[in-house]
């Protein structure tokens, strides 16, 4: 097993340092006005009725059907619901659907009955037409929606058989659809292409949208399930990480997403705050252009993988909160293989040099293109420094998201890396991570492996979850050996909350979700 703790020396240092700071902070706070227990958000009294989220940014377009990023879904998740949902053990159970889908023998027709008596926030009943509208939108390859990755070309059509029954026709057996239907939100048919707001059947409804800045939700009193205790939820964009941290500690916000790894230790010292560190589908994805020198040679890629300073990234960038990675599939995703042990924690420079010699490469120089967020910049610098020890010269190219995407999509890079959270779209499936490695996918950048192609076909076709997991596991192993996707670590989802509200469900965070109805004041 891999040792997940950071070295004791580092940890002690870090704690001492933060301890000193906290002691200083307490002393100063004592000189201030009052005990630091409560802040602005708790002003209205002991009982918290409206909770405030501090998030990095809020998307300009508020439509959960266009985008699978957390900038949209943290906010719309309490508003919209899916046909199926996750129970407390992350098993998928019916929500808007009335029971399991009826699948034809050839696996090409799925019939789903809808639950009776469910209404949208404007009072309209949920009908098959709404479900069809959502499904049709995401199945159209021309729709500007991230969800097309999961539905387009597989779903031929969706139609309403009657008011409460939906029939989905597929082009090929597609068992993983059951999982996708657990993630795809169903919105009111008139809101499918709206960008300014959305309407669903969930426990909260959209109250006020200040685009890109703040969204206010209020309780849906006509909710068909367990009614929430909270009266409302506010999402506030606070772009500066330090400001967000201060806001949480002073009580201006109750929940902070995107906690930077290095501030975890500090937050843990605060008696008012709980930090959740959860294995979730949050990946560092790595790409090579695999059909151009130097990375067309598997040995060169492997050399790079062996010389990769995974430990440095884990301990220095992630302050020990991440896990050492082997293949592309992380611990919260189907197909993760905890027994896989190819690359060591510390870099193996001798092996790397031997592999380079075998490949006939005397000096390896390449450019690593990373996105410009603080974490990726740090990851890039640590990796480059690590490779330098192996005599490999890695030049960093730090790009804003848009130019990064442009270069990446057009294959104008050698090695590319960025952080990516796939949980809202893919749930526990490895579709987003492994999908691009199909030789049919234009974003595979020259990687072709018949075995992977075959296994991918099997994985998405089967309705048997265990079989899919097994196939993905095999693919993960192949990709790790081929060193085609070599994330240094599996980062964890880190969310911090104040103790004035009941603890969030960490299990659900494992699929990037926060279940708000049970949240209450303590």
Partner 1 sequence: MLRYVGRRVAGLALVLLIVLTLVFFMLRAAPGGPVDAYLGMNPTPEKRAEVEHRFGLDQPIWVQYAKFLGNLASGDLGNSLFSDRPVSAIIGERLPVTLELSLAAFLFWVVVGLAAGALAARRRDSFVDGLVRVGSVVALSIPSFWLALVLVVVFGLYIKGVLPSSGWVPFTEDPWENLRGVVLPAFALGLGSGAVIARTLRASMIETTRADYVSFARAMGMPERRVLRRITLRNAIIPTATVIGLMLGVFVSGTVLVENVFNIPGIGQTIVGAFRQHDYPLAIACTLITATVFLVANLVVDLLYFVLNPRIRAGFLNGTAR
Partner 2 sequence: MVMTRVLPRSRTSRLRVPRMSALTWSGLVLLLLFLLLAVVGPLVAGTSTARTGDTLAAPGAAHLFGTDHLQRDLFARTAEGARVSLLVAVAGVGFGLVVAVPAGLVAGYFGGRWPDDLIMRILEALQALPLFVFALFVIGVTGTGDSQIGPVTLTSTTKVVLLLGVGFIPYFARVTRSATLVEVQEDYVDALRVVGVPRWRIIAGEILVNVLPPVLVQAFLWIGVAIFAESALSFLGLGIQPPQPSLGNILGDATGYMLLGAWWYSIIPGLVILVATIGFNLVGDGLGDALDADNRR
Enumerate helices (H) and strands (E) in the chain, giving the number of each: 17, 21
Helix (H) or strand (E) holding 287: strand 282-288
Residue 367 binds partner 1, judged by CB under 8 A:
no
Residue 365 binds partner 2, judged by CB under 8 A:
no
- List the beta bridge partners of residue 215: 209, 235
For residue 260, the minimal CB distance to partner 1 (Å) is: 14
Residue with tokens 């159209």: 140
Token pair in block for residue 8: 């004791």
Residue 60 binds partner 1, judged by CB under 8 A:
yes
For residue 60, the minimal CB distance to partner 1 (Å) is: 4
Helix (H) or strand (E) holding 112: strand 109-113
Binding segment for partner 1 (CB under 8 A), chosen from 93-101, 243-251, 337-345, 503-511, is 243-251
Site for partner 2 in 301-330 (CB under 8 A): 312, 315-317
- List the beta bridge partners of residue 323: 490
What, of partner 2, partner 1, none, does residue 238 touch, CB below 5 to 8 Å by kind?
partner 1
C-alpha 324/C-alpha 308 separation (Å) is 11
Helix (H) or strand (E) holding 160: strand 155-162
Residue 247 binds partner 1, judged by CB under 8 A:
yes
Which string of x and - marks every residue 443-462 that binds partner 1 (by CB under 8 A)? Answer: x-------------------
For residue 398, the minimal CB distance to partner 2 (Å) is: 5
Q: Considering the complex, state which of residue 14 and residue 235 has its C-beta at the smaller distance from partner 2.
A: 14
Residue 37 binds partner 1, judged by CB under 8 A:
no
Residue 14 binds partner 2, judged by CB under 8 A:
yes
Residue 395 binds partner 2, judged by CB under 8 A:
yes
C-alpha 242/C-alpha 225 separation (Å) is 38
Residue with tokens 């703040």: 214
Residue 36 binds partner 1, judged by CB under 8 A:
yes
Candidates 15, 50, 56, 61; binder of partner 1 (CB under 8 A) is: 61
Candidates 130, 258, 262, 500; binder of partner 2 (CB under 8 A) is: 262
Report phi then psi at 420, rounded to 5: -150, 130
Residue 347 binds partner 2, judged by CB under 8 A:
no
Query: Could you tell me the CA-to-CA distances from 450 to 353, 374, 438 in Å, in that order?
Result: 29, 38, 9
Please compute Rg for the chain using Cα positions: 24
Residue 196 binds partner 1, judged by CB under 8 A:
yes
Ramachandran class of 104: left when φ > 0, alpha when ψ lies in -120 to 50, beta otherwise: beta
Residue 146 binds partner 1, judged by CB under 8 A:
yes
Q: Are 181 and 429 in contact (CB under 8 A)?
A: no
HSE (CB half, 13 Å, CA atoms) of 266? 17
Residue 5 binds partner 2, judged by CB under 8 A:
no
Residue 404 binds partner 1, judged by CB under 8 A:
yes
Token pair in block for residue 107: 């696996």
Candidates 32, 45, 117, 123; binder of partner 1 (CB under 8 A) is: 32
Residue 380 binds partner 2, judged by CB under 8 A:
yes
C-alpha 291/C-alpha 305 separation (Å) is 18
Residue 266 binds partner 2, judged by CB under 8 A:
yes
Binding segment for partner 1 (CB under 8 A), chosen from 107-115, 136-144, 225-233, 500-508, is 136-144
Candidates 367, 439, 451, 518; binder of partner 2 (CB under 8 A) is: 367
Token pair in block for residue 244: 């967000």
Residue 15 binds partner 2, judged by CB under 8 A:
no
Query: Could you tell me the CA-to-CA distances from 313 to 4, 15, 383, 481 in Å, in that order?
Result: 12, 19, 7, 21
C-alpha 305/C-alpha 298 separation (Å) is 10
Candidates 51, 132, 192, 245; binder of partner 2 (CB under 8 A) is: 245
Closest to 434 in 3D by CA, of 415, 414, 455: 455
What, of partner 1, partner 2, none, does residue 239 touch, CB below 5 to 8 Å by kind?
partner 1
Q: Considering the complex, state which of residue 272 and residue 521 has its C-beta at the smaller distance from partner 1.
A: 272
Residue with tokens 């605060």: 270
Q: Are 205 and 495 in contact (CB under 8 A)?
A: no
Q: Say which residues have a Cβ less than 8 Å from residue 359's Cβ, sequence separation at least 6.
A: 297, 299, 300, 303
Query: Could you tell me the CA-to-CA distances from 99 to 93, 102, 109, 520 in Å, in that order?
Result: 8, 9, 16, 30
For residue 68, the minimal CB distance to partner 1 (Å) is: 8
- DSSP code string of 43-68: TT-SS--EEEEEES---SS--TTT--
Residue 372 binds partner 2, judged by CB under 8 A:
yes
Candidates 155, 238, 264, 278; binder of partner 1 (CB under 8 A) is: 238
Residue 19 binds partner 1, judged by CB under 8 A:
no
Q: Is 61 exposed, middle or buried (0-12, 13-18, 19+ CB in 10 A)?
A: middle
Site for partner 2 in 17-46 (CB under 8 A): 17-18, 20-21, 24
Q: Considering the complex, state which of residue 300 and residue 437 has its C-beta at the smaller distance from partner 1.
A: 437
For residue 362, the minimal CB distance to partner 1 (Å) is: 33
Summarize as ranges the residues that interact with partner 1 (CB under 8 A). 25, 28-29, 32-34, 36, 39-40, 60-61, 69, 141-144, 146, 148-149, 195-196, 210-213, 236-240, 242-243, 246-247, 249-250, 252, 399-407, 409, 420, 442-443
Summarize as ranges the residues that interact with partner 2 (CB under 8 A). 10, 13-14, 17-18, 20-21, 24, 241-242, 245-246, 260, 262-263, 266, 312, 315-317, 367, 372, 374, 377-378, 380-382, 384-385, 388, 395-400, 403
């Amino acid at each position: 097993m891999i040792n997940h703790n950071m070295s004791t020396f580092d940890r002690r240092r870090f704690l001492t340092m933060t301890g000193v700071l906290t002691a200083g902070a307490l002393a100063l706070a004592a000189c201030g006005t009052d005990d630091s227990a409560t802040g602005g958000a708790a002003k209205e009294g002991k009982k918290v009725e409206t909770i405030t989220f501090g998030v990095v940014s809020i998307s300009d377009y508020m439509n959960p059907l266009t985008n699978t990023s957390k900038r949209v879904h943290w906010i719309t998740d309490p508003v919209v619901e899916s046909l199926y949902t996750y129970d407390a053990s992350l098993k998928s159970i019916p929500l808007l659907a009335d029971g399991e889908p009826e699948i034809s023998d050839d696996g090409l027709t799925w019939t789903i009955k809808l639950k009776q008596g469910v209404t949208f926030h404007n009072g309209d009943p949920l009908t098959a037409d709404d479900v069809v509208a959502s499904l049709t939108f995401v199945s159209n390859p021309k729709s500007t929606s991230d969800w097309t990755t999961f539905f387009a070309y597989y779903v031929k059509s969706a139609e309403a058989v009657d008011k409460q029954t939906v029939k989905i026709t597929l082009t090929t057996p597609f068992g993983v659809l059951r999982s996708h239907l657990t993630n795809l939100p169903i919105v009111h048919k008139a809101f499918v292409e709206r960008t300014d707001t959305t309407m669903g059947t969930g426990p909260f409804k959209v109250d006020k949208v200040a685009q890109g800045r703040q969204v206010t939700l209020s309780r849906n009193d006509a909710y068909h399930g367990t009614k929430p205790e909270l009266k409302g939820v506010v999402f506030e964009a606070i772009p500066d990480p330090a400001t967000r941290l201060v806001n949480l500690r002073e009580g201006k916000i109750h929940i902070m997403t995107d906690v930077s790894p290095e501030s975890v230790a500090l937050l843990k010292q605060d008696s008012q705050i709980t930090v959740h560190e959860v294995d979730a589908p949050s990946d560092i994805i790595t790409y090579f252009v695999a059909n151009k020198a130097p990375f067309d040679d598997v040995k060169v890629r492997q050399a790079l993988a062996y010389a990769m300073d995974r430990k440095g990234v884990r301990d220095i960038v992630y302050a020990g909160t991440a896990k050492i990675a082997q293949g592309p599939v992380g611990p919260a995703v189907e197909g993760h293989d905890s027994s896989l042990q190819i690359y060591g924690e510390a870099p193996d420079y001798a092996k790397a040099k031997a592999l380079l010699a075998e490949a006939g490469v005397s000096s390896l120089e390449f450019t690593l293109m990373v996105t410009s967020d603080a974490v990726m910049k740090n990851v890039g610098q640590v990796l480059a420094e690590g490779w330098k020890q192996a005599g490999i010269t890695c030049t960093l190219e730090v790009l804003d998201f848009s130019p990064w995407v442009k270069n990446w999509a057009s294959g104008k890079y050698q090695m590319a890396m960025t952080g990516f959270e796939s949980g809202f779209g893919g749930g526990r499936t490895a579709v987003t991570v492994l999908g691009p490695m199909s030789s049919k996918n234009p974003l595979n950048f020259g990687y072709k492996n018949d075995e992977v192609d075959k296994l991918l076909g099997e994985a998405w076709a089967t309705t048997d979850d265990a079989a899919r997991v097994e196939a993905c596991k095999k693919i993960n192993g192949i990709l790790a050996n081929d060193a085609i996707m070599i994330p240094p670590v599996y980062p964890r989802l880190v969310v911090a909350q104040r103790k004035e509200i009941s603890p969030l469900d960490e299990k659900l965070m494992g699929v990037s979700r926060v279940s708000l109805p049970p949240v209450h004041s303590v």
